[in-house]
Amino acid sequence: MSEFWQGARTLFRGFGWWRASPGLMALGLVPAAIVALLGATALVIWGASLPGLVEHLTPWAQDWAAWAAVIVRIAIGAALFGGGVVLLVFTFTALTLMVGEPFYQRIWKDVEAKRLGAVPDARYSAWTSIGDALVLLLKGIGIALLTMLLGLVPVLGGFAAAVLGTVLGGLVLADELTSRAFTARGFEAGDRTRLRRRFRGRTLGFGVATSLCFLVPLGAVLTMPAAVVGSTLLVQDMLGRAPDPRGTAA
């Protein structure tokens, strides 16, 4: 568990970067705020449409006792809303990183320069950012569908869906957020995956902490710049404690 908490603390070390570069961190709020406003609007529309959608999906419950139909429809509505929230987290992250790439590139380069004295020179292009965002969105859709289905299981389904969504979501978010610092060092996808597995607890702790912060009202906006910093620190920490998986010096 110590590795898990180390990973979670890495995110909060990212919040400490406000002292080092407050101007850059403030710039990182701009794309997050814009995307969050659009996401909040979409979530409100989704929530408002759920009663009619659930009733349309459950015509077979019309002949049930009123209390039984209400319970079933509330459970289905909660599962659909929860899946929508999970999907929104991934969509927010993907769009924010894609739209805000110029801002976040300056932030992670600032972290590299101030901590290591140099910035890795392998280019993380706009096309790479778009590709990573699309992959993240596809993974988010899969996890959202899984949590929706699990949420339909009576009694413990909702709790299990929340736990599974947080864990899987945390791992995927950590994967996406650390991709910049890894790619800038020339790491291929397979090498990145092997290194994250070696530090699975630390990676999971960072990802889960980020995912939970994103669920707090306005948390996603305030957390995104810190998550970019934290993910860069996480990569630096992992490479400082493990040999380069490519067989060269890290």
Quote the pLDDT of residue 19: 92
Query: What are the backbone dihedrals phi and psi of residue 152, each rounded to the nearest 5 degrees, phi first?
Result: -80, -15
Name which of 18, 42, 34 is nearest 98 in CA terms.
34
Quote the pLDDT of residue 133: 74
Q: Does pLDDT of 248 surpass 50? A: no
Distance CA 22, CA 168 (A): 32
Query: What are the backbone dihedrals phi and psi of residue 214, each rounded to the nearest 5 degrees, phi first?
Result: -65, -25
Q: Does pLDDT of 242 surpass 70? A: no
Which is higher by pLDDT, 245 or 12? 12
Distance CA 119, CA 76 (A): 49
Quote the pLDDT of residue 129: 66
Distance CA 210, CA 9 (A): 10
Ranked by mean pLDDT, which of 75-79, 170-174, 224-228 comes out on top? 224-228
Ordered by start, the domain boundaries in the chain are 2-239
Distance CA 35, CA 168 (A): 22
pTM above 0.85, yes or no: no
Residue 227: what residue type?
A
Q: Which of 13-22, 73-82, 132-141 has the lowest mean pLDDT?
A: 132-141
For residue 30 the two structure tokens come to: 């701009």
Which is higher by pLDDT, 94 or 242? 94
- Rounded to 10°, the helix 200-215/219-241 angle is 170
Q: What is the mean pLDDT of residues 118-139?
A: 72
